[in-house]
Structure 1
Amino acid sequence: MNDSYVDKVLIVEGKSDKNKVKRIVKEPVEIICTNGTISITKLDELIEFLENKDVYILVDADFSGEKLRKQLKREFPQAEHLYIDRMYREVATAPVQHLATVLIGANIDVHTEFLEMG
């Protein structure tokens, strides 16, 4: 939570998710890593930080990802939820082309070379 001037915020689970998404995204997006869980203190900080920002949630397609998604859905009902195909299970292991397509579908600008990979 460094730059309060960034309009878009993407919440992911792990550091590897963050690193992978960071490579793909072309525009300034704050990527927040929850490390799979989120404490009440961190949640309170996030609520204040995310006010008046476009919030996107991209978590793994597994039990822990869905549990986190439900918690974030309650706290940030205005957030847009992005989903990877269940066959990839994890954001970190999903192909970059798939992630780029998911992100561009949410109007997040991506480096075009990731869309062309196949």
Structure 2
Amino acid sequence: MEIEQVEKVIIVEGTSDKRKVISVLNEPIEVICTNGTISVSRLEEIMDEHFNKEVYILVDADEAGEKLRKQFKREFPEALHLYIDKSYREVENAPAYHIATVLLSANIDVNAEYLEQRMY
């Protein structure tokens, strides 16, 4: 049995965000929670563990999320930043079809059923 190598990582703020993102994914991607904040040592640990992977940042469209995003831009500039519509404010509150659309725009494979929801 071959172990599948995960080549992409999505960093979110909370466990609810993680559940929402995982629910729409259609490919093996590690989703990491920062629990709202992240220490420099933990950030360095993530950078070391995922050095050769595509790393995406998907945080809330609020003050705490923007603070976290700025920290990632400063300390981990290679990471790609994904944005939810500000009207939803939080990843966990965004509809699954919106999360799916955001992920798909970054060439992340999502379950097609969530994209179809947008049509109805």
Normalising by the residue count of structure 1, what TM-score does the alignment of the two structures yield?
0.94
SS in 1 for 2:92: coil
Aligned to 2:35: 35
Count how many residue pairs are aligned between Structure 1 and Structure 2. 116
Give a deviation string over 1:22-62, Cα, whole Å, max 9, x none.
01000010000000000122112111012011010000000
The answer to whether 1:56 aligns with 2:56 is yes
- The structure with the larger Rg is 2
Aligned to 1:97: 97
SS in 1 for 2:87: helix
Aligned to 1:66: 66
Normalising by the residue count of structure 2, what TM-score does the alignment of the two structures yield?
0.93
User: Is contact 1:13–1:59 with CA below 8 Å preserved after alignment?
Assistant: yes
SS in 2 for 1:55: strand
Deviates more, 1:19-28 or 1:41-50: 41-50
Q: Distance in 2 between matches of 1:4 and 1:100?
A: 23
SS in 1 for 2:11: strand
Q: Distance in 1 between matches of 2:60 and 2:30?
A: 19
The answer to whether 1:79 aligns with 2:79 is yes
User: Is contact 1:14–1:36 with CA below 8 Å preserved after alignment?
Assistant: yes
Question: Does the C-alpha gap of structure 1 residues 67 and 15 become closer, same or farther in structure 2, counting only changes over 3 Å?
Answer: same
Mind listing any 5+ residue stretches in structure 2 that lack a counterpart? Answer: none
SS in 1 for 2:64: helix
Shift of 1:4: 9.3
Q: Distance in 2 between matches of 1:14 and 1:32?
A: 9
Q: Distance in 1 between matches of 2:83 and 2:4?
A: 26
- Matched residue type, 1:116: E
Q: Distance in 1 between matches of 2:93 and 2:71?
A: 23
Give a deviation string over 1:47-95, Cα, whole Å, max 9, x none.
1012011010000000000000000111111111000000000000001
The alignment's C-alpha RMSD in Å is: 1.4
The answer to whether 1:9 aligns with 2:9 is yes
Mind listing any 5+ residue stretches in structure 1 that lack a counterpart? Answer: none
